[in-house]
């Protein structure tokens, strides 16, 4: 592995780091390959698989067909165990169901009901993987936590800061989901796949005969295996004793003209065209959601484009908070092309992002991540 | 790495003598105990010898012993068997149990509830003890079964079965106990305890997994759980697990002969472990300390730690112990037993179970007294809740 010496180019990277490293293992090919890579480097490894969600809790979401592939199912746990057995390192399942529900699932449901479009994966990273899991890793004697994320960590000698960088493989880059990490978390984390492509990872997995080398990737949210998040929100709310009834409201134009009815704001996201339930002459899109008036505001494509947005709970990662406005590139959703913008820090962990060119469907609840080339400068939640 | 096994309440190694006794029945003496020929006769003789051996351990008669696949089947058979045998007789049937039972009893009772049976789950004291007075008060005309575990798997606390047996006898209510955690650890006498039904499991007393037994007092009305051939008088059909039965018989015999000696040896080690930890680790305590306990079990709370992390940290150092109940993934679930004795969630999570066995040694205790305090200190250093608790005292 010629690229290995560049990984996370920390000062002592050429020397194998001493100490136990915990690998967060989902049972998939990426995190399994991380374990294999670290072992190849001669490092002692312990695998940890998080039990995050009890699939039996909402039986109405199970469906009748053969079990769908889903994260933290028993099959995935057993896959992780098989990998650990194959590569001969200790592996444990740790229960974070309570933390996952409080910090990921509940906010996810609440955000949708408040008319926003949340990203559960970011919360899971910031508040579960790199919080209680990292803490547990350290409590059981591991120095650091390695994950299968496609991103890179670099220690900047001049500033002394740990920097977060995009993955070498642009198509797999997951830095967008990691903007919430603190310096402390970054200093204790490793992303050994950051320099690799997915094909290289599969090839590595095959070369050490990992039992999961050919396992397909999971695409959906782990706790919504069938992809129907609306159904999930209904089932979860019912189980929590707050069944969603009578969520209906008006679909209106920007001028307030009523075009139709909606079935609850959680069914909609900014830029959505399908499923509005009425026919209009020109294509219309969701422009905004007003949870207070329980309204969905629609309009034409042009009206979706805006140049400016505000972010909150801003985390400055690779550089300290900047007093002067900053030229950068900003991403407003996972599959969004980086767009040139000026970023200006505001009080109370906020910032204003002003794009050079108007961007389509800026969506409250999503993250806006500020890059300088490969380097993640900051991130925050779109207000 | 030298590994220390302090998880005998989860399972025990097969005793070498029991293993030796069973092996011929996996090879040369492979006959079906129901067969007429010599092969079958040899198997039958071995099964009946084992029945005597198991009966002797609990002061039952051989014909009162039925072999099963283990504790869970024995519990299911007892609970469903009694309730369903009596259901047509008494409408609105009622069952009394405790809130600290093993899932095999708890979930059987919950299944009965779905069939329309009323179930009373009696609370326990802070030490985990059931009050026989509560049992008396819970008895109704419709009560068809009292089922209370003998020793608790998590704390080792021994329930006052003799008193409860008196109450059950006075009201002519069938009385069952899940004795999976007591048989082989403390004397169990089904006559003294006035039991009608008792469940035991092989792998908790140095026999293999997959074999267990029920004691069914003669004359007890019980509906069978499985339907099939005429094995074990048709009461528990299925070709007998001869090798397992033979091993269980041998293990029962060994347990009967060495019980006094084992108890002395194991309780000395257990006390040494507890005293050693209490003196070396601040802010820790033993749960169920003032109740009668099985000699091998110690449940301890270490303030401010996550038990799950401590179990892993200790396993990485070579010490096997456990916390709470494990679910199918192997992850730890909150313990219903520790919740039932009134421990707040954080303290229940901060609790660990050490369960010693016949082959535990003083050297292992000494090694554990080095490993555990170091691991607890390491966890507490990184525990936000322990720092908070510590500073709150100032």
The 3-class SS string of chain A reads CHHHHHHHHCCCCCCCCCCEEEEECCCCHHHHHHHHHHHHCCCCEEEEEEECCCCCCCHHHCCCCCCCCCCCCHHHHHHHHHHHHHHCCCEEEEECHHHHHHHHHHHHHHHHHCCCCCCHHHHHHHHHHHHHHHHHHHHCCEEEEECCCCEEEEECCCCCCEEEEECCCHHHCCHHHCCCCCHHHHHCEECCCCCCCHHHHHHHHHHCCCCCCCCCCCCCCCCCCCCCHHHHHHHHHHHCCCCCCCCCEEEEECCCCEEEEECCHHHCCCCCCCCCCCCCCCCCEEEEEECCCCEEEEECHHHHEEEEEEEEEEEECCCCCCCCCEEEEEECCCCCCCEEEEEEEECCCEEEEEEEEEEECCCCCCEEEEEECCEEEEEEEEC
- CA distance, residue B66 to nearest chain A CA (Å): 35
Strands of chain B, DSSP E: 4-5, 65-68, 94-98, 118-122, 143-147, 175-178, 197-201, 212-216, 284-287, 297-302, 319-320, 325-326, 332-333, 351-355
Last residue of a domain, one of B238, B255, B272: B255
Q: What pLDDT is stored for residue A74 in this prediction?
A: 80
Q: What pLDDT is stored for residue A5 in this prediction?
A: 37
- CA distance, residue A288 to nearest chain B CA (Å): 41
Within 8 A of A141 by CB-CB distance, chain B residues are: 313, 316, 378
- CA distance, residue B183 to nearest chain A CA (Å): 31
Distance from C-alpha of B277 to C-alpha of B3, rounded to nearest angstrom: 19
Same-domain pairing of B114 and B206: yes
Q: What is the pLDDT of residues B205-230, one digit of tens each?
A: 999 999 999 999 999 989 888 888 88
Decide if A216 contacts A241 (C-beta within 8 A). no
Same-domain pairing of B220 and B131: yes
Which of B109, B284, B321, B327 is flagged as catalytic? B327
Last residue of a domain, one of B255, B280, B315: B255
CB contact under 8 A, A135 and B382: yes
CB contact under 8 A, B331 and A95: yes
- CA distance, residue B60 to nearest chain A CA (Å): 42
Query: DSSP letter at B258?
Result: H
Distance from C-alpha of A160 to C-alpha of A124, rounded to nearest angstrom: 27
Q: What pLDDT is stored for residue A7 in this prediction?
A: 38
Same-domain pairing of B61 and B201: yes
Residue in chain B nearest A134 by alpha carbon = B382
Q: What is the pLDDT of residues B28-47, one digit of tens each?
A: 999 999 999 999 999 999 99
Same-domain pairing of B120 and B154: yes
Q: What pLDDT is stored for residue B319 in this prediction?
A: 97
Same-domain pairing of B263 and B228: no
- Give the number of domains in chain B: 2
Give A 116-155 residues with CB within 8 A of chain B: 135-136, 138-141
CB contact under 8 A, B316 and A136: no
Topology (CATH) of A305-382: Elongation Factor Tu (Ef-tu); domain 3 (2.40.30)
CB contact under 8 A, A139 and B379: yes
Decide if A178 contacts A145 (C-beta within 8 A). no
CB contact under 8 A, B313 and A77: no
Token pair of B383 as six digits: 């525990």
Q: Which CATH number fits domain A2-207: 3.40.50.1100, 3.40.50.300, 3.40.50.620, 3.80.10.10?
A: 3.40.50.620
Query: Any idea what the CATH number is for the domain that residue B166 is in?
Result: 3.40.640.10
Same-domain pairing of B251 and B263: no
Q: What pLDDT is stored for residue A60 in this prediction?
A: 72
CB contact under 8 A, B313 and A135: no
pLDDT of A341 > 60? The answer is yes
CB contact under 8 A, A136 and B332: no
Q: In what order do the strands lie in the sheet with B118-122?
A: B65-68, B212-216, B197-201, B175-178, B143-147, B94-98, B118-122
Same-domain pairing of B241 and B190: yes
Mean pLDDT in residue range A59-75: 60
Q: In what order do the strands lie in the sheet with A45-51?
A: A91-95, A45-51, A20-24, A142-146, A189-190
Same-domain pairing of B75 and B64: yes
Decide if A46 contacts A90 (C-beta within 8 A). yes
Q: Where is average pLDDT lowest: A52-56, A347-351, B246-250, B335-339?
A: A52-56
- CA distance, residue A23 to nearest chain B CA (Å): 14
pLDDT of A366 > 70? The answer is yes
Residue in chain B nearest A94 by alpha carbon = B331
Give A 38-77 residues with CB within 8 A of chain B: 46, 49, 51, 74, 77
Same-domain pairing of B49 and B195: yes
CATH code linked to domain A246-299: 2.30.30.280
CB contact under 8 A, B331 and A51: yes
Give me chain A's average pLDDT, please: 89
Same-domain pairing of B293 and B376: yes
Q: How confident is the model at residue A63 (pLDDT cuts 50, 70, 90)?
A: low
Query: Any idea what the CATH number is for the domain that residue B360 is in?
Result: 3.90.1150.10
Same-domain pairing of B94 and B180: yes
Same-domain pairing of B88 and B237: yes
Parse chain A into domains and list their residue ranges.
2-207, 246-299, 305-382
Last residue of a domain, one of B215, B238, B255: B255
Within 8 A of B332 by CB-CB distance, chain A residues are: 94-95
Known catalytic residue: A222? yes
Within 8 A of A90 by CB-CB distance, chain B residues are: 315-316
Q: What is the pLDDT of residues A21-41, one digit of tens each?
A: 999 999 999 999 999 999 999
Q: What pLDDT is stored for residue A6 in this prediction?
A: 39
Q: With a cut of 50, which residues of chain B have pLDDT below it?
A: 394
Residue numbers of the domain that contains B45: 16-255
């Amino acid at each position: 592995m010629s690229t290995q010496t560049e990984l996370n180019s920390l000062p002592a990277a050429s020397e194998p780091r001493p100490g136990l490293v915990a690998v967060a293992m989902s049972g998939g090919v990426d995190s399994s390959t991380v374990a294999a890579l670290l072992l190849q480097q001669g490092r002692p490894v312990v695998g940890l698989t998080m039990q995050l969600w009890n699939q039996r809790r909402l039986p109405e979401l199970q469906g009748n067909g053969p079990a769908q592939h889903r994260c933290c199912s028993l099959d995935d746990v057993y896959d992780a165990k098989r990998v650990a057995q194959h590569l001969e390192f200790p592996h444990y399942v740790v229960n974070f169901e309570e933390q996952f529900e409080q910090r990921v699932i509940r906010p996810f449901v609440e955000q949708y009901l408040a008319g926003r479009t949340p990203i559960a994966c970011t919360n899971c990273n910031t508040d579960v993987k790199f919080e209680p899991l990292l803490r547990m890793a350290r409590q059981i004697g591991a120095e650091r936590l390695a994950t299968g994320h496609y991103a890179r960590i670099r220690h900047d000698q001049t500033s002394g800061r740990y920097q977060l960088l995009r993955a070498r493989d642009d198509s797999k880059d997951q830095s967008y989901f990691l903007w919430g990490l603190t310096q402390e978390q970054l200093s204790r984390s490793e992303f050994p796949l950051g320099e690799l492509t997915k094909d290289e990872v599969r090839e590595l997995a095959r070369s050490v005969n990992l039992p999961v080398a050919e396992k397909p990737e999971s695409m959906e949210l782990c706790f919504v295996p069938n992809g129907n998040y609306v159904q999930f929100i209904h089932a979860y709310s019912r189980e929590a004793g707050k069944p969603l009834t009578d969520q209906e409201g008006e679909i209106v134009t920007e001028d307030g003209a009523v075009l139709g009815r909606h079935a609850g704001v959680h069914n909609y996201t900014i830029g959505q065209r399908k499923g509005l339930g009425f026919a209009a002459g020109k294509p219309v899109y969701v422009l905004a959601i007003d949870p207070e008036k329980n309204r969905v505001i629609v309009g034409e494509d042009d009206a979706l484009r805006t140049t400016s947005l505000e972010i909150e709970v801003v985390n400055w990662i690779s550089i300290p908070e900047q007093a002067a406005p900053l030229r950068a590139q900003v991403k407003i959703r996972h599959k969004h092309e980086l767009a040139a913008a000026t970023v200006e820090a505001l009080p109370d962990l906020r910032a204003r992002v002003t794009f050079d060119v108007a961007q389509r469907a800026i969506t409250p609840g999503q993250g806006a991540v500020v890059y300088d080339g490969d380097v993640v400068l900051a991130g925050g939640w779109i207000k | 790495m030298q590994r220390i096994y302090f998880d005998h309440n989860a399972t025990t190694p097969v005793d070498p003598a029991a293993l030796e006794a069973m092996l011929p029945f996996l090879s040369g003496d492979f006959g079906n105990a129901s067969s007429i020929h010599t092969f079958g006769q040899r198997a039958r003789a071995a099964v009946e010898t084992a029945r005597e051996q198991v009966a002797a351990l609990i002061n039952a008669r051989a014909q009162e012993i039925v072999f099963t696949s283990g504790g869970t089947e024995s519990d299911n058979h007892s609970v469903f068997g009694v309730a369903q045998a009596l259901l047509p007789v008494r409408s609105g049937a009622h069952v009394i149990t405790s809130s600290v039972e093993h899932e095999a009893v708890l979930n059987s009772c919950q299944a009965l509830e779905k069939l329309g049976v009323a179930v009373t789950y009696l609370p326990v004291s802070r030490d985990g003890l059931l009050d026989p007075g509560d049992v008396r008060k819970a008895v109704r005309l419709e009560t068809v079964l009292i089922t209370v575990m003998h020793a608790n798997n998590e704390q080792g606390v021994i329930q006052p079965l003799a008193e409860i047996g008196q109450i059950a006898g006075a009201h002519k209510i069938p009385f069952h106990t899940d004795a999976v955690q007591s048989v082989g650890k403390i004397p169990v006498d089904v006559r003294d305890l006035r039991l009608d039904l008792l469940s035991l499991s092989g792998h908790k007393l140095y026999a293999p997994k997959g074999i267990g037994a029920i004691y069914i007092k003669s004359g007890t009305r019980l509906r069978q759980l499985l339907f099939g051939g005429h094995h074990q008088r048709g009461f528990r059909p299925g070709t007998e697990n001869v090798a397992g039965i033979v091993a269980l018989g041998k293990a029962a015999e060994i347990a009967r002969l060495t019980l006094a000696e084992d108890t002395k040896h194991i309780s000395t080690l257990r006390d040494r472990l507890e005293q050693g930890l209490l003196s070396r680790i601040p802010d820790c305590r033993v749960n169920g300390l003032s109740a009668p306990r099985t000699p091998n079990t110690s449940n301890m709370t270490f303030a401010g730690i996550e038990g799950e992390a401590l179990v892993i940290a200790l396993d990485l150092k070579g010490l096997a112990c456990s916390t709470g109940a494990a679910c199918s993934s192997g992850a730890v679930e909150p313990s219903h037993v520790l919740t039932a004795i009134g421990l707040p969630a954080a303290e229940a999570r901060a609790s660990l179970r050490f369960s010693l066995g016949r082959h535990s040694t003083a050297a292992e205790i000494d090694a554990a007294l080095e490993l555990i305090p170091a691991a607890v200190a390491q966890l507490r250093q990184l525990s936000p809740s322990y720092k908070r608790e510590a500073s709150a005292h100032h």
